[in-house]
Amino acid sequence: MINRLTEKIQKTGAPIVVGLDPMLDYVPEQIQKASFAEYGETLAGAADAIWRFNKEIIDATYDLIPAVKPQVAMYEQFGVEGLQAFQKTVDYCHEKDLVVIGDVKRGDIGSTSAAYAAGHLGKVRVGSQVCSAFNEDFITVNPYLGTDGIKPFVKVCQEEKKGLFILVKTSNPSSGEFQDRLVDGKPLYEHVAEKVAAWGEECMGDSYSYIGAVVGATYPEIGKVLRQVMPKSFILVPGYGAQGGKGKDLVHYFNEDGLGAIVNSSRGIIAAYKQEAYARFGAEHFADASRQAVLDMIADIRGALEGKI
Amino acid sequence: MINRLTEKIQKTGAPIVVGLDPMLDYVPEQIQKASFAEYGETLAGAADAIWRFNKEIIDATYDLIPAVKPQVAMYEQFGVEGLQAFQKTVDYCHEKDLVVIGDVKRGDIGSTSAAYAAGHLGKVRVGSQVCSAFNEDFITVNPYLGTDGIKPFVKVCQEEKKGLFILVKTSNPSSGEFQDRLVDGKPLYEHVAEKVAAWGEECMGDSYSYIGAVVGATYPEIGKVLRQVMPKSFILVPGYGAQGGKGKDLVHYFNEDGLGAIVNSSRGIIAAYKQEAYARFGAEHFADASRQAVLDMIADIRGALEGKI
């Protein structure tokens, strides 16, 4: 899957991922009205609204991008119905040949991580049958429990040729509270990054490992260091756009081959029509606004990379 | 909810929680057969089997215990259908007046944590309506992202009078890899514990805070230290039984009032009929085996506590 991600990035020329994190506030009124008319103002109505919203954005952008990253929390808040919308979104993105990064940030003790890995990336045995559930291509994973909480995910990645992005340095303001603390003279995130590199050696694709890392766009100097610590790991970079990161800050997340990083934007793309820059599209043409925001983001990042490559 | 948990522990005399973590392997053949006959060997069949299994165990034990802790991964592995079984389990436990601790180990940046908090503990606005989704009473939370990833959960706990157990020191063998690393001369888990105590001050119940901690039974010396660091936090103690913890190891997780800790056993209770000690019940009477295992666990922990209180 890392080979496929790399190929798709090269083909589209777009090292970006669209974060499908639909807050109900982002969904234009005409869609909310249609969904509520069918299902009422219920969890099922909300789930239908975010699914319709996603579908239009996917239809308007899939030819430009290699991958999407649905944030499962935005679906999970609407309960079982919300997770049905998550599943529909994953399946539809696969129909459109997109790589799907499930932003689930799971992680637990070994046997429990094995269950998460089966449900999100792998298969589960039911009687004499083997079934797959959510079936994303990559997921994000939390490393706080250490190696035996990560290994079951790595094992499924080896079996299924899927991948992980393990949290190393997150994009939020208080990420330093624990992640930056010095351990033997180095920040904790560097120790985690060294483990990511080691875990990644066990499942290499052609040029990059199946095991990547999450490093926030909001800490570019740290990104530069971590690029060196994990040369074979793809870095998933959240925090571009709405959270403050800009293309020029991100060049050091990439390797000299112009690969090795994939930059996420969520709100900045899916709620583009609410920004002044794209207000001309209006709520009715929200998906066209998203397409334009994708084009602008690609241009920003390619422009920044041209200086480097 | 922490007051209710405390009252229920005092009423039952049982500072324990039954971990409803149903692996399909644990479910006796007669139940699997019935479910597969109705739904086939599908995710829906598996979900029905674990729900039937749970229901019998709940019916056989609810009068003895204050709380249950379903591990969501065991449901999530069966996809949307599995999460329907999770929801049914939560709702049925509420019918039986049990406190439900959703073992979900979520945690993300602020806006995302807010969505998880709404979906698991709180409510979500849909048009003019307010809906609740999974509606557990407590959930477990991962602290790796720091304060701004935790605060949205705390806020919902204040609004809804619900609670958290934040991972401090987990029960798995490699938990020390990051959690035990020395930061300013103290292990990282102590720094996390200090934060848990501070966050907890913002939402106090009568004697204990709504914000508790997870500290594994497998590290009793650490439990003793952390009890002092977080005097007002309830400690959820996984790792009893199948993972190796014993009642006598756990006395220091409790305060002098005999409260302050709640010990979880999952496999040791729900798959008791598979152990030699309870083999006499047979697969047909698996729920009676679980009841006996609960009685034995309560006796073990009360016996150990009698020396202390």
Per-residue pLDDT tens listing for chain B (309 residues): 899 999 999 999 999 999 999 999 999 999 999 999 999 999 999 999 999 999 999 999 999 999 999 999 999 999 999 999 999 999 999 999 999 999 999 999 999 999 999 999 999 999 999 999 999 999 999 999 999 999 999 999 999 999 999 999 999 999 999 999 999 999 999 999 999 999 999 999 999 999 999 999 999 999 999 999 999 999 999 989 866 777 888 999 999 999 999 999 999 999 999 999 999 999 999 999 999 999 999 999 999 998 765
Rg (CA), chain B: 19
Q: Which one from A105, A123, A161, A274 is the annotated catalytic residue?
A: A105
Tokens at B306, concatenated: 């009698």
Task: Say how many CA atoms lie within 13 Å of A68 toward its Cβ.
Answer: 32
Distances (CA, A) of A151 to A116, A164, B126, B157: 12, 11, 39, 33
Nearest CA in chain B to A112: B73
Contact B192 A178 (CB under 8 A): yes
Contact A74 B115 (CB under 8 A): yes
Q: Examine the residue annotation and report whether A88 is marked as an active-site residue of this protein.
A: no
For B126, which of A24, A119, A183 is closest by C-beta distance? Answer: A24
Distance (Å, whole) CA B224 – CA B206: 23
For B172, which of A109, A170, A171 is closest by C-beta distance? Answer: A109
The string of DSSP letters for A133-157 reads SS--SEEEE--TT-HHHHHHHHHHH
Contact A144 B167 (CB under 8 A): yes
For A148, which of B113, B118, B174 is closest by C-beta distance? Answer: B174
pLDDT of residue B91: 98
pLDDT of residue A308: 60
The string of DSSP letters for B244-267 reads SB-GGGGGGGS-TTS-SEEEEESH
Contact A74 B112 (CB under 8 A): yes
Residue B308, min C-alpha distance to chain A (Å): 31
Contact A142 B105 (CB under 8 A): yes
The pTM of this model reads 0.97
Per-residue pLDDT band for A246 (boundaries 50, 70, 90) equals: confident
Q: What is the pLDDT of residues B219-268, one digit of tens each?
A: 999 999 999 999 999 999 998 986 677 788 899 999 999 999 999 999 99
Residue A307, min C-alpha distance to chain B (Å): 32
Residue A10, min C-alpha distance to chain B (Å): 30
pLDDT of residue A241: 80
